Structure 1
Amino acid sequence: MHEKPQTMLSHGTLPYPAGTLVEDTISERTGHLVGVIEERTKDGNRVVSRQAFMRPQGGGIEWDVPLERIKPVTETDKA
């Protein structure tokens, strides 16, 4: 039986500046990028997952999505 490796959480590098308006490409929800949390293995420091934290425009409750699902909102997207 394989044991799940122990992991740790840490702040990750933002792909865009904090506050950038981004969109979740699956749900199409938009919000401001607040931060990134990475889950890494304790042995080997391998990235297991990366979550982007977003805050709705105008404020409200933050939510998280996998980092690979976000993209910046462009002027074309707003039209």
Structure 2
Amino acid sequence: MTAQDVPEVGTVVVDTRSDQLGEVMGAEGPYVQLRPLGGGIEWDVPPRALREATTSDELRAKVREVNASRRWAG
């Protein structure tokens, strides 16, 4: 993605720098703000470091979330 290709708010994308999925919350200056899918603190990403999430990306993130919650369910 380029600076002109800022995704719409609500789009699920991958931060290619960290391989983390996030939901687009907006854009400020040269950055796009992402929020983790399960909620949490937003982070800034340059648009060139984003790609649209695939179905398998989203499934992988959901599996990670379920596995993490089971570890802490005790």
The TM-score, its normalising length taken from structure 2, stands at 0.64
Question: Does 1:18 pair with 2:9?
Answer: yes
Aligned partners of 1:13, 1:24: CA distance in 2, in Å? 17
CA contact (8 A) 1:52 1:65 kept: yes
Question: Does 1:69 pair with 2:49?
Answer: yes
What displacement does 1:15 show? 2.2
Aligned partners of 1:16, 1:66: CA distance in 2, in Å? 12
CA contact (8 A) 1:14 1:35 kept: no
Q: 1 or 2, which has the higher strand percentage? A: 1
CA contact (8 A) 1:24 1:70 kept: yes
Which residue of 1 is the match for residue 20 of structure 2?
29
2:26 aligns to what SS in structure 1? strand
Aligned partners of 1:34, 1:78: CA distance in 2, in Å? 17
Residues 15-55 of structure 1 show CA distances to partners (whole Å, capped at 9, x for unaligned) of 222111111111101110011112xxxxxxxxxxx111000
Q: 1 or 2, which has the higher helix percentage? A: 2
2:10 aligns to what SS in structure 1? coil
Structure 1 residue ranges without an equivalent (≥5): 1-11, 39-49
CA contact (8 A) 1:13 1:36 kept: no
CA contact (8 A) 2:6 2:32 kept: no
CA RMSD of aligned residues (A): 2.1
